[in-house]
Amino acid sequence: MENDSEHASAPVSPAHRAAEQLAARRRMRELSETTTSPRAYALLTLSAALMTAVFVTVYLIAFTGHASGRNGNVYAGYSLFILPIVPELMFTGLLAGARERFSVRRRRGVAGVGTALVFAGFLVLLLLGISQIAYPWWINPVFGVVAFLLLGGPPLRRLVLERTQAGYASERRSSERWSSEPLSPGIRTMTALIGVYLGALAAMSSQPWFPYVGMAAVLVLVIWGLPFGLPRAGYEWGPLCWGAFGLSTAILFGLTLALMRTDWVTPTVAVITGIAIALVMIAASMAASLIDAPIAPARPGKG
């Protein structure tokens, strides 16, 4: 027993301690220099891949071939590309803020090759459609699936492999803190304004003068550059706001297809759709601060 006690309390040799410190320093350096993303950012990147894949599919289905608007004006029809492209541009700015929050370093490589292949395929199909060169209709959705696999492969691989890594538990705790902070007043207002802006585009989309409204898309660049603009919103947003934005984007994508390929969207339907989009984002801006805010301690003497 005495020998066991002496062995348990024996001091660690300097060589062993130095080896442990060196290993710890190596792990810290690898963590700081890593080009892979934490779990929350990997999920966002996967969502970006899905959004881009759906965007190219919607664009090819809606705008290749003869794109005439409700009033028979070809240019009015093509102006509706503002509906899907505005949220796509917004997402780029929002994702830049999320990347800064998670201190992610972008790495060219597999992801860059995938992006190049998607862009090349999209350009080929777009030129075929504009040139009225017929090709099977199912190629568009199939290309969307391929685009998602190419763009979403790296983050999906990250999500699968991280469960086998020793640091998964600590990384998971870190990513769970993503939604622990309330929105600042400026970002709460910006979130609501994003909804109002997207809702206004949807509400006026069925009008023959929508091409002139579409020019207001330049506001995206203005919103981007504000101190409380898109990157800052992406920095502060939690899953609730990201989910609301994704839902709003999905509604806009569906509205685009309905406007271009059906007669279902009347001015009343467009206005109702726009109001729904605005309410979704406004509700998210209000609820995020309430849900994510820390709970205040109870006052003494009150049960």
Burial of 171 (0-12, 13-18, 19+ CB in 10 A): middle
Query: How far is it, in rounded angstroms, from Cα 33 to Cα 30?
Result: 5
The reported pLDDT for the residue numbered 213 is: 74
Distances (CA, A) of 301 to 111, 297, 298: 58, 12, 9
Give the residue among 69, 72, 56, 85 at the shortest CA–CA distance from 205.
69
Poorest-pLDDT segment among 10-24, 136-150, 248-262:
10-24
Closest C-alpha among 26, 242, 49, 27 to residue 158:
49
Rounded to an integer, the average pLDDT of 93-102 is 86
The pair of structure tokens assigned to 138 is: 């199912």
Give mean pLDDT, residues 162-186: 60
Mean pLDDT of 158-162: 74
Residue 189: alpha-carbon gap to chain centroid: 19
What is the C-alpha to C-alpha distance for residues 73 and 76, in angstroms, rounded to an integer?
A: 5
Query: Alpha-carbon distance 58 to 48, whole Å?
Result: 15
pTM to 2 decimal places: 0.75
CB 292 within 8 A of CB 183: yes
Q: What is the pLDDT, as a whole number, of residue 107?
A: 58
Distance of CA 80 to the CA centre of its chain: 22
Per-residue confidence at 261, pLDDT binned at 50, 70, 90? Answer: confident
First to last CA, the chain: 53
Dihedrals φ, ψ of 57, to 5°?
A: -65, -45
Mean pLDDT over 191-217 rounds to 86
> Residue 271: in which H helix or E strand, if any?
helix 267-292
